[in-house]
Homo-oligomer: A and B are copies of this chain.
Amino acid sequence: MKAEIITIGDELLNGQVVDTNSAWIAQRLGALHIPVVHITSISDKANAIKVALQQAEARADVIIMTGGLGPTRDDITKATVADYFGTTLVRNEVVLAHVESIFRRKARKMMPAMNIGQADVLANASVLFNDVGTAPGMAVERDGKYFAFLPGVPFEMKFLMENRVLPMLRDTYKSDVFVYNTYLLTVGIGESHLAEHIADIEDALPSFITLAYLPRIGMVRLRFTGEGSDIETLASITDSFKQQVVERVKDYVVSIDNCSFEEVLVQTCISAGATLSTAESCTGGTISAQITAVPGASQMFQGAAVVYSNQAKMDVLGVSPDTLVQYGAVSEPTVKQMAEGAKQVFGTDYAIATSGIAGPGGGTETKPVGTVCIAVAGKSETRAQTFHFKNDRAINIERTVIAGLTMFWDMLRKEG
């Protein structure tokens, strides 16, 4: 049982929009042990859609297609797919009533006439009713293959997957080969050093277990994938190899679940009853935003002060004017005072502070673009460190966030 995802839209091909739907769909199918073997993004053109369906049908058993179901005339998926299946479009009165009710409920003007066409569905399809939008999804089964056609708007696609497609696949398309994935997240060790440390364990892996390195800035996630017919044996053997790796590199392991670093930090703080605040200059609130994106963060996160100007650094966080004059805004003494100020203002156990020159402007000879100072204030001490990044603004912000979170993690482990 294999799956393929096809996303439609010129906005994907010209880079206007990043395809986040495919990763989300792949995760959900993976949870049902239906591995995705191919992801394709194609143009809003009839020929591209037909060729992609043909190739997908040859490679996969479950084909999920998103996009091109809207009311405007660049949305040609439905007519093209009807042609592909040699069927027609028929008006569905339940969908029509639903689309009309959405326009009524939102107290908008009359429903634009073009939306009537949204009630037309493939004659050979089961309608996947869309409670959260106007474009219905459709499911077609043919020759043992399952096709789902879904809107490209992420939350509508997610609603239809969660409530219509996945329950159906869960019941019907059971796989005889199980795929078992388990993860490990390391921080503070590079990919090749990590690989060197665990080379002998990797050598000893049986052929049905593969190990993948998923590096990101400042961290490496390891994925162990086992394939076999008996899920319990598979899980037990795979886990035993993972456990060997965990013991080998335990100083760098932050999670043995498929968690993000932020989730680990939030959970660790909640368990320890520890609270956090941030004082951010060059990261502009990104650390705070990433921490608070984790559900439950309000139990450990008290707040953040984003202090772009020197005045705000003094007024909000009590940074001393002398320190700013003597050492500058991007300096270890300044970030230490920012972190201690945030700890006090928000009444937290810990605080992370950042100040740096993210670029592209603002660099000087002694402090070029990429110079970043980070401090972490803990229960008993405040530590600061200076980093010399380069690259562009977005990367400098990302590196600073990871470095700040890593310094915080080290402090948490030391004091916890």
Contact = CB atoms under 8 A, between A and B. Distances in A.
Interface of A: 9-20, 22-28, 30, 35-44, 48, 55, 70-74, 108-109, 111-115, 132, 134, 153, 155, 158-159, 181, 190-193, 195-196, 199, 202, 210-217, 221, 223, 225, 258, 278, 280, 283-289, 291-293, 295-298, 301-309, 311-312, 315-316, 345-347, 359-362, 391-395, 397
A71 B191 contact: yes
Contacts of A15: 22-28, 30, 36
B195 A71 contact: yes
- Count of this chain's copies in the oligomeric assembly: 2
A11 to B, nearest CB: 5
Contact of A153 (B40, B155, B215, B316): B215
Contacts of A115: 192
B293 A303 contact: no
A362 B19 CA distance: 31
Given A284-B285, A302-B309, A302-B311, 12 more contacts: A10-B223, A12-B26, A14-B223, A15-B23, A18-B22, A19-B22, A70-B192, A132-B391, A284-B289, A303-B309, A303-B316, A306-B306
A40 B37 contact: no
4 smallest beta-carbon distances between A and B, as pairs: A284-B292, A285-B285, A15-B26, A285-B288
A187 B29 CA distance: 34
A157 to B, nearest CB: 12
A91 B313 CA distance: 53
A359 B297 CA distance: 11
18 contacts: A12-B22, A12-B23, A13-B37, A15-B25, A15-B30, A16-B223, A17-B216, A18-B22, A19-B23, A71-B195, A108-B193, A280-B285, A285-B304, A293-B397, A298-B309, A303-B316, A305-B306, A315-B345
B312 A16 contact: no
Q: Main secondary structure on chain A at its contact with chain B? A: mixed
Nearest to A305: B305
A58 to B, nearest CB: 11
A292 B285 contact: yes
B14 A26 contact: yes
A307 to B, nearest CB: 5
A72 B195 contact: yes
Which of A35, A289, A309 has the most B CB atoms < 10 Å from its CB?
Answer: A289
A347 to B, nearest CB: 7
Contacts of A40: 38-41
A302 B285 CA distance: 12
A298 B312 CA distance: 12
A75 B14 CA distance: 28
Contact of A360 (B11, B295, B309): B295
A97 B2 CA distance: 44
A212 B70 contact: no
Contacts of A9: 214
A13 B27 contact: no
A23 B170 CA distance: 32
A166 B207 CA distance: 41
